[in-house]
Amino acid sequence: MPSISTVTITLLAALSSVGNAALSRVTDFGSNPTKLEMNIWVPSKLATKPAIILALHTCGGTGEAYSSMTKYGTSADQKGFIVIFPTTKKDSNCWEVNTTKGLSREAGGDNQGLANMIKYTIQKYDADASKVFVTGASSGCMMTNVMMATYPDLFAAASCYSGVAAGCLAGSPGASPGSADPTCANGKVIKSAEEWTRTAKAMYPGYNGTYPRLATWHGVADNLVFYPNFGEQLKQWSGLLGVSFTRNETNKPQSGYTKMIYGDGTKLVGYSAAGVGHIVPVHPTDDLAWFGL
């Protein structure tokens, strides 16, 4: 009879291999100007007209690691939606949120490759183009803001953890903690809602459709991507979504967190997490509820 520890190890190995079974690599998804890797989680029982979530890793991360960290795949298996977990390998695996091409549409940045992953997935799996979502943590949250600003027509909603407003790192010599101009992460890029709105709109000039809904989370004690970046994101999206702060709900969704409601709370909410540093733990259940999945 095997010892308990052997059983435990075998069980853990089995669980982790089950966990990754649905994640596979796609190489032919279309133009990929910055050589991103596309990993896709397609549940064996796919819903008809499935929804899609694009889930963006932190600096130093990978799509595979973000899949393990967030557990969106487990929910995908239950509900039949698809998750794309891409990887960037440049600049310490940080997303391109600083360059002119990366902050423009169809201009050869990471955002263009990510948009093509979505277009490919909609086509290949006959997915519901009105149910495409984006989420991410840290650098992935910065990129979430950039995707929403440069490809607002692709996404219905977004959630993100511990990032910055779209355009905060524009012109910085890099996008990683080691290479970036620290002004943005330090919470020193402060603009009015009108200025942030103009910054984002300049990334897709002439766009006259609606912008995706956003739920953004930030730790008050963040000492890497400082807390003022939360307020700057809320200013930017309150301008783009045309909603202003209405009220707070304290201890939502858990003790110490404050849910900040804009308008009627269907387009923009912020979650301010007291005593929480970098990064706010991903809340997959709240994300799925926000997406309506």
Contact (CB, 8 A) for 199 and 236: yes
* CA separation, residue 179 to residues 96, 98, 185, 232 (Å): 12, 11, 12, 22
Residue nearest to ligand NAG (CB): 91
Q: Which of 39, 98, 135, 138 binds ligand NAG (CB under 6 A)?
A: 98
Determine the interface stretch with ligand NAG among 13-21, 61-69, 190-198, 201-209 (rule: CB under 6 A).
Answer: 201-209
Q: What Å distances lie between residue 87 and 22, 36, 72, 241, CA to CA? A: 16, 6, 16, 29
3 is catalytic: no
Is residue 199 at the binding interface for ligand NAG, with CB under 6 A as the rule? no
Binding segment for ligand NAG (CB under 6 A), chosen from 16-24, 79-87, 96-104, 181-189, is: 96-104
- For residue 4, give the DSSP letter: H
Least Å distance, CB 172 to ligand NAG, is: 6
Q: According to the binding rule CB under 6 A, does residue 183 interact with ligand NAG?
A: no
Any contact of residue 189 with ligand NAG (CB under 6 A)? no
Of residues 37, 77, 91, 232, which one binds ligand NAG by CB under 6 A?
Answer: 91
3-class secondary-structure state, position 10: helix
- Crossing angle of the two packed helices 284-291 and 72-79, in degrees rounded to 10: 50
SS3 160: strand
Q: What residues contact residue 92 under an 8 Å CB cut-off, 6+ apart?
A: 59, 60, 176, 177, 178, 179
Residue 220: which of 260, 166, 192, 264 has the closest Cα?
260
Residue selected from 48, 130, 208, 255 as contacting ligand NAG according to rule CB under 6 A: 208
Choose, from 67, 138, 139, 272, the residue flagged as catalytic.
138
Contact call for residue 210 and ligand NAG (CB under 6 A)? no
Does 216 bind ligand NAG (CB under 6 A)? Our answer is: no
As annotated, the active-site residues are: 138
Q: Which residues make up the interface to ligand NAG (CB under 6 A)? A: 90-91, 96, 98-99, 171-175, 206-209, 248, 258, 260, 272
